[in-house]
Every structure is written in structure tokens, then in C-alpha cells.
Amino acid sequence: MIMEIVRKIAGLIILFAGLMAIVLVLEQAINELGGHPDMEQKVFWPVILPVFLPVAAGFLIFGYFALQGEYSSNTEEKSEEKKTESEEA
Amino acid sequence: MTRRREHILFKVITASSVGTMIEWYDFYIFGTLATVISAHFFPKTDPTAAFLAVLATFAAGFIVRPFGALFFGRLGDMLGRKYTFLLTLVIMGASTFLIGCVPGYAQWGYWAPFSILILRLLQGLALGGEYGGAATYVAEHAPVGKRGFYTSFIQTTATLGLFLSLGVILLVRKSMPVETFEQWGWRIPFWISLLLVLISVYIRLKMKESPLFDKIRREGKRSAHPLKESFTQKENLKMVLLALFGAVMGQGVVWYTGQFYAQTFIQKTMHIEYEQSIYILATAFLIGTPLFILFGALSDRVGRKVIMMSGMALAILCYRPIYKEMYHLADVQRKVLLNEVRAEEAWSENVGNVSRVKVTKYYTDGTRIEEIHAPTEPTSEANPVELLSTSVILPGQQQWLLVFLVFFQLIFVAMVYGPVAAFLVELFPTRIRYTSMSLPYHIGNGIFGGLTPLIATRLVNMEVERGNGGDYYLAGLWYPMIIAGACLFCGMIFMRRDHNIAE
């Protein structure tokens, strides 16, 4: 029971950390690219942003699942039963 | 297990491991030769920009890996493991060979870097498909309860591939004058790949399809839409996310810090002479490789989670002291100068013979530093002679200490990486296993791990620009420490000790 609560709190922390990371990275990118970017900045951000944003979105979904209790023991057992049933079908 | 079954299993492991090792070799020679490639394929107006351009190309090789995982993973779940990872091997071999054939920027202009970029992307795609296939193929032959041990042989291939690439490069470099190596000799390791790939294709062609995949094919249980099933069904998607954020993301950064950032740090921050740096890294990798098998086997007994999480925790705690100690080994501020010898020499460069001043400094602890200067006299203190390059040559005892410090990082690498193939394989059912395990693996390793040198170098540069002295050289470690910390947090809370699909 305690672990289930800890998992939900962790889900909230993940959601918050994911949003913070997106805001901070975008802010940094806009600041650097908006001014007079040097060669290093011009190479760095176009590589990082298209990669970072989808991964950050995945992190938010992970946090959402955690908050919904998807990683609690009971839910996982049900999921595994469901998975086995769908395979057998 | 009968002797015959064990014999078949080791044939499976050999066929899979040799091919995967060759793919890693192909992939790593590019990174190891980044500086030479930079001089040939990117405009030399700004050396940092040229180096960054190569790093970006290197990163591009990593970024496309998840796409390779999706494309080939889908094929592997629909058509079978054997032919899919045969195809990835051929694509990798052909692109590596062609990188060795592309004319330089001076002959081909912008076509040269463009071709290199395309071939590098193909390498990344092929690697994205290879690893999942090899790990799945071995795991599906291995008995339940020993998957950690048997798949750990696949886990050694990345380090062995790196070791092989360093060894081949060193051999080629020593067999000819440095100028010849820099002009065209660097192409030989790329050409050698063709031979290695042909041998591996021959071995793999003789292997049979995985028994578990064969079974679901005969029973008509193969997935018709592996991508859809893996990433749109909540039961599978949540496991993909757990694998990524609770295990592979941290494993990726620990792996790349121990093997690649260590290399960048030794060569670019400590300025250890090139050949000595290769000897140091290769020795540490060779001694450290059996640890992958040790921790893989141990994970069958004590569980994957405890070993992987301990590896991440140790890495976070030890990185700063390790890198501080590494830096101190080459720090001249802490050494006493004994003697200095200056000599003017003629150097052969692309523009012809030029004059250079070589200054060799000897220190009381046995360290030797070779500095190459432009041959002009300093006009003032603010305008000293131009220092073109510095090479630090460590004496025996300090060299071995550096080997130990790199090896020490390999313990964490083996702890997080040794059990990870078995962990991933056991999270997903056979029908979507190739697709589902490949994507998180290649996002974790390719993106989080592969970008480690790029992001860490940038963090150090930012620290220098801010004018922060002191431990500025440790700033790059924040990236792997934060990512591994986040992964440890997620893994400890959400990962169960017994996530295991026993088929």
C-alpha cells in the first residue's frame, strides 16, 4: 500500500520534472539561437531538439501512467493476464 | 542440458556474437578516427567546428538507431530473426567499406561530407536492427533461468568491437609513417570491414531460425502489426517506457561515459599522446570484458534489478573522484620541471614541408610533454608563440594507474550492461519481442548514451566561457550523473524484481 502511494507521488514528480525539462531546454535553445549563434550552437541545437522533445513526451506519458497506478502490482498482474489471453487468442 | 544442446547453443552464441562484434567495429572506427576524418571531409576553417561537425555526424549515427530498431524490429517479428539480422550485417559492411572509398573534400567538395553523412546514417540504421536481433536470437535459444549468462556474450561484443577497432587502427598506424596514415592509411580499417563481414555472413547463413519464433510461426501466432501492438497497446507501451526510463536510459549514459567520454577526456582534456591513450584504453577494455559475463551470470541468481541499479548508483557516486584523479595524473601544475629541450624540425603537412619548433619537457616523476609550436618568437607576454599541439606521455606507474581508473569505470559498465539484454528480452512476448526491446535499447543507448560526448564537451566549454576555473573539466559529468540518477529513481520505484516472461 505504501509503495503504491510512493509510485503515484513519483508519477507526479516525473510529470513535473518532464515539464520543467521541456521549458528549460526550450528557453536555453531560444536564448542561444535567437542571439548571434556561433557554429557550435548552430550544430548543437538542431541535433538536440528533434531528439529531446519526443523523448520528453514519452517521459510525460510514463509519469502519467505511474500516476494512474499502471505500475502498481495489481494492475501489472492483470495486464500480464490480459497479454497472455490476447496471445492465446 | 545435454551436451549436444549446449554445443548448439554455443554455435548460436558464436554466430550472433561475431556478427554483432563486427557491426560494433564498423560503427566505432568512425568515432575513433573522428579527428582524421574531420580533416578530410569538413572545411578546415575552424578546427572546433570541424570536430563538432564530425561529432554531429557521429551523433547522427546514433540518432537514427531507433529508426533502424523500428524498421528491422518489425521485419524481425514478421519474417524472422535470422534473415533480418543477416540483412543488417550486409548493410553495415557495405556502408563501412564505402566510407573508406569516398574522396576527400578537396577532390569532391560538399559531396564528400554529404556522402559520409548518408553512409553514417545507414550504419546507424543497420546497428539499430542488429542488436535486438542478436540478443533475441540467443535468448530464444537459451534455457529460462540462464538467459543472463548466455546473452551476456552478446553484451561483450560492443566492448570487443571497440577493442578490435582500436587494435586495427593502432596496427595500421604503426605499419606506416604518420603522414601516410593521415593521407590515406586511415581508410584501411574501413576496407578490412568487408572481409570481416563476409566471414560473418557465411557463419550466419548456416544457422537456423530461433526455435521460439519458429514455434509461433508454425502455430500462426506471429504478430501482423508489431509496431501497432508494441506501441499502441497500453500493456506493452508501459513496459517499453519502463524499460527506457527505468533501466536503459541510465545504462546508456554509464556505458558511454566509461567507454567514450573516458576516451575523449584522456585525449582532449588530459592531452595524453595518441598511441599511449589507445594502449591504456585497449588494456582496460580487455581486462574488463569478462566482467560482462560475470554480472550477466550473477543476474540469473540475484535478479537483474539489483545489479543494474547498484551499477548506476556506484557510477553516480564515483565519477567525480575518478575523473579528478585522472586529470591530476596529467596536470603539469602538480609536477616539477626537470629539463626542457627545444629543436626546430621540418614537418610534412598537407601544404608541404613546414618548420615547427618541438619543445620536449621532462618532469621529475618521469612524465614527458611534447609541445609543437609555430616557429615565431614571442613579441610580448600577451602574444606568446603559437602552441599547436601538446602530447603528454605518462611514465609506467601512472600509465597503469590510468588503466585502473578506466577499468574501474568498466565495472559499472558491466554491472548495468551485462544483464540488460536478458532484462529486455524477458519484458516482452515472442511475437513482438524484436520490435519492443529494440526501440528502448536504441533510444537509451543511441540517444541518451550516444550524445554523451557531445553534451559533456559542450558543458565543459560553457564552464570555460563562464570563466569558472577550478574543476571546470568535471562539468561534463553532470550529464551522465543526472540521467543515471533519474533512471535510478524510476528503476528503484517502478521496476519489479521479477519482470519475466518465461517463454
Confirm or reject contact between B228 and chain A (CB < 8 A).
Answer: no
Ranges A71-80, B49-58, B157-166, B232-241: which has the least confidence: B49-58
| pLDDT of B272 strictly over 70 | yes
Cβ pair B48:A6 closer than 8 A: no
What are the tens digits of pLDDT across the range B386-432?
Answer: 778 889 999 999 999 999 999 999 999 999 999 999 999 999 998 99
**How close does chain B come to A38, measured CA to CA in Å?**
9
Chain B residues 245-274 with a CB less than 8 Å from chain A: 245
- The pLDDT tens digits for B434-488 are 999 999 999 998 889 988 888 888 888 888 888 777 788 999 999 999 999 999 9
Q: Greater confidence, B50 or A62? A: A62
Residue B216: CB atoms within 10 Å: 18
Q: Is residue B363 scored above 90 in pLDDT?
A: yes
The answer to whether the Cβ–Cβ distance between B56 and A47 falls below 8 Å is yes
Cβ-nearest to A40 among B52, B489, B494: B52
**A76–B241 C-beta distance less than 8 A:** no
Pull the grid cell for residue B129.
Answer: 536492427
d(CA B24, CA B165): 9
Of chain B, the percentage scoring pLDDT greater than 70 comes to 91
User: Degrees (nearest 5) of the Cα angle B97, B103, B106?
Assistant: 155
Give the model confidence (pLDDT) of B273-318 as tens digits: 988 998 999 999 999 999 999 999 999 999 999 999 999 999 999 9
Mean predicted confidence (pLDDT) in B53-57: 62
Question: Residue A55: which pLDDT band, with cuts at 50, 70 and 90?
Answer: very high
Q: Does B461 touch chain A (CB under 8 A)?
A: yes
List beta partners, residue B353. Answer: B348
Per-residue pLDDT at B358: 85
pLDDT at B151 over 80: yes
Percent of chain A with pLDDT over 90: 48
Q: Which of B221, B237, B242 sits opposite A71 (nearest CB)?
A: B242
Chain B residues in contact with A55 (beta carbon < 8 A): 443, 447-448
Q: Per the CB < 8 Å rule, is B245 touching A6?
A: no
Q: Is the pLDDT of residue B147 over 70?
A: yes
CB nearest to B429's CB, from A7, A14, A83: A83
Task: Say what the pTM is.
Answer: 0.87
Question: From CA B296, how far away is CA B281, in angstroms rounded?
Answer: 23
Taking 80 as the threshold, does the pLDDT of residue B55 lie above it? no
CA distance B404 to chain A (A): 33
CB contacts, 8 Å: A39 with chain B: 46, 48-49, 52
Q: Is the pLDDT of residue B380 over 70?
A: no
Average pLDDT over residues B233-241: 93
Rounded to a whole number of angstroms, the distance from the CA of A43 to the nearest CA of chain B is 7
Chain B touched by A64 (CB under 8 Å): no
Residue B167 contacts A where some CB pair is shorter than 8 Å? no
Find where cell 509510485 sits.
A7
Best of B48, B221, B236, B490 to mutate (most A CBs within 10 Å, chain A): B490
| Mean pLDDT over each residue of chain B, to the nearest integer | 87
Q: In the prediction, which pLDDT does B77 show?
A: 93
Taking the CA of residue B495 and the nearest CA in chain A, the distance in Å comes to 8
Q: Which residue of B has its CA nearest to A83?
A: B235
Q: Which band of pLDDT confidence, cut at 50, 70 and 90, is reported for residue A76?
A: low
In B88-242, beta strands by DSSP E: none
Contact B128, B438 (CB under 8 A): yes
- Tell whether ipTM is more than 0.90: no
* Cβ–Cβ below 8 Å for A44 and B236: no
Given this model, what pLDDT does residue B52 score? 59
Reply yes or no on whether the pLDDT at B497 is more than 90. Answer: no
Cell output for B166: 582500436
Q: Which residue has the higher pLDDT, B262 or B378?
A: B262
User: What tens digit of pLDDT does each residue of B72-112 get?
Assistant: 999 999 999 888 988 999 999 999 999 999 998 888 887 88
User: By C-alpha distance, which of B298, B177, B241 is closest to B494?
Assistant: B241
User: Strand, helix or coil at B344?
Assistant: strand
Q: For residues B111 and A59, which has the higher predicted lDDT (pLDDT)?
A: A59
Q: Which of B279, B281, B269, B476 is nearest to B392 (CA)?
A: B269
- pLDDT value at position B46? 57
pLDDT, residue B44, reads: 62
Asked if A83 lies within 8 A of B235 by C-beta distance, the reply is yes
Option in A43, A70, A71 nearest B53 (CB) = A43
pLDDT at B362 over 80: yes
On whether any CB of chain B is under 8 Å from the CB of A47, the answer is yes
List Cβ neighbours of B467 (8 Å cut-off, separation of 6 or more): none
SS (H, E, C) B148-170: HHHHHHHHHHHHHHHHHHHHHHH
DSSP assigned state of B269: I
What's chain A's average pLDDT?
Answer: 83
Provide the pLDDT for residue A74: 61
Closest residue in A to B486 (Cα) is A14
Q: Does B218 touch chain A (CB under 8 A)?
A: no
- Does residue A71 or residue B401 have the better pLDDT? B401
Q: Which positions in chain B touch A71 (Cβ < 8 Å)?
A: 238, 242, 494
- A47, B60: Cβ pair inside 8 Å? yes
Identity of the residue in B52, B429, B454 whose CB atom sits nearest the CB atom of A87: B429
In angstroms, the first-to-last Cα distance of chain B is 17
Tell me the nearest-neighbour CA distance from A81 into chain B, angstroms: 10
